[in-house]
Amino acid sequence: MTLKYLHTMVRVKDLEKSMAFYELLGLKETRRMDNDGGRFTLVFMAPPGQEECPVELTYNWDGDDALPDDSRHFGHLAYRVGNIYEMCQKLMDNGVTINRPPRDGHMAFVRSPDNISIELLQEGDALASAEPWASMENTGHW
């Protein structure tokens, strides 16, 4: 089974101010995604020459008034896996709850023993929908 670190996500209240801070640290914008339907922007920033290790700044267009005092800054760690179904089955076999099952053959979320949210993303194209994943409900939150 393959595993590759992708990014760490943090929520930001003021995208421009946050980007300026990370630029002061030496990080540069490597990628940006605006999602009109979800009303959010994702900005990936990384040190030059280390583009494979970005921080993802998540900015909700409608605001997030609870920031910075509700511990929602840190979002999740993300890893790309060779086979999301095999990885989720291995985790389940070892007592890990699949909070957001890979119904789409592409994405799942689990939590560490310390309640850290971990996103698992299928390498390449999404796998064909398969049971038990396709009909599995969410458990808790991620």
Catalytic residue, chosen from 16, 52, 119, 123, is: 119
Asked whether 91 and 112 are in contact (CB, 8 A), the reply is: no
Give the list of residues 6+ apart from residue 132 with CB closer than 8 angstroms, or none.
Answer: none
Q: Note if the bond before 68 is cis, omega within 30 degrees.
A: yes
Q: Is 119 a catalytic residue?
A: yes
Q: What is the dihedral of CA 127, 81, 50, 61, to 10 degrees?
A: 60
What's 72's DSSP letter?
Answer: -
Rounded distance between C-alpha atoms, residue 28 and residue 19, angstroms:
9
User: What distance in Å separates the CA atoms of residue 58 and residue 140, rounded to the nearest whole number?
Assistant: 22
SS3 24: helix
| Active centre residues (catalytic) | 119
